[in-house]
Amino acid sequence: MSVPAVRTAPPLAPGTRPVPGYEVLAHLARTGWLDVYDVWSEERDCRCVVKTVRPDHRDQEQMCDQLLREGRWLEAFTHPHLVRAYETFDSPVPLVVLETLTGETLSHLVHRLRRRLSAADVALLGVQLCSALHYLHGQGLLHLDLKPSNVVVDRGHAKVLDLSIARPPGPAPAGVGTFRCLAPEQARGGPLSAAADVWGIGITLYEVAAGDAPFGRGDSREVPPRGEEGDEPCDGSVTGGRDDRYPQVEGTAPPIGLRRRLPGRLAAAIDGCLQADPSSRPSVAELTAALDATLPGPGRRTACP
């Protein structure tokens, strides 16, 4: 007997007002649990971005809470390399209003450019990512999903997106994050520390420098956010759990030097981020100093901000 297909509500049409003061201009994207819109803010007299839980997932209370938590964090945080949130609404629909960013994601940039970024640009990007992660860690949070598609760059200025699976350091279920970007300890499950985000910086710089990720090429499966109770996925799907699904658990990352010739100190910094043992990776401050040392000119940074 065939099972009837589940009908998913279409995105909001242009002209719709999801909450007072905001008018939908266009639907930008639909993920496994979110809709993203280009909207007009009457109060600010400018365009903004709205993230909201998809209609077919709004009965998932933990998923809605996760989005609202992210919005409140981004409203409170102030950092030049983190996206800003303007407002968070819990009714009539769970919704977060974010600044509109110019530029493009690193994932788009890597595939658009005919030439790879220079070594200096890779190092400067790394310093900016370290700055954002240093700030987040100071707020008591790990990002846990740093990857090229979660970084927007405009004229050399990077901003980190998406705190949807961010959580404090400590125990976490297996497999939270994006399949090909997970640190080994994220894949296995267990205690997580700032070293997991150092891995994310390494994955991002590796892909930007080499044009491809070191693990799971072409595989960008993402895990929906998980609830706090029972550590189960909010939508009840089965994710994670078996180490042998993850190549980063089975083996080590190939040295960046096998994919591209880079200055020795920069290559060593990227390779250091991708050590299987979290204790063998540099701290964010050490990584900042190592990347900064590869930058030319007198304006180099010598310590984490």
Task: Please answer whether residues 188 and 174 qualify as being in contact, where contact means their C-beta atoms are separated by less than 8 angstroms.
Answer: yes
Distances (CA, A) of 111 to 14, 90, 150, 151: 30, 37, 15, 14
Task: Please answer whether residues 146 and 158 qualify as being in contact, where contact means their C-beta atoms are separated by less than 8 angstroms.
Answer: no
Q: In sequence order, which residues have a C-beta less than 8 Å from that of residue 27 and are 6 or more positions away?
A: 11, 12, 35, 36, 37, 38
Q: Tokens 């990776």 label which residue? A: 281
What does the alpha-carbon distance between residue 181 and residue 200 come to, in Å, rounded to a whole number?
7
**Residues designated as active site:** 145
Q: Where are the alpha helices (DSSP H) in 61-141?
A: 61-76, 106-112, 119-138
Task: Please answer whether residues 152 and 104 qualify as being in contact, where contact means their C-beta atoms are separated by less than 8 angstroms.
Answer: yes
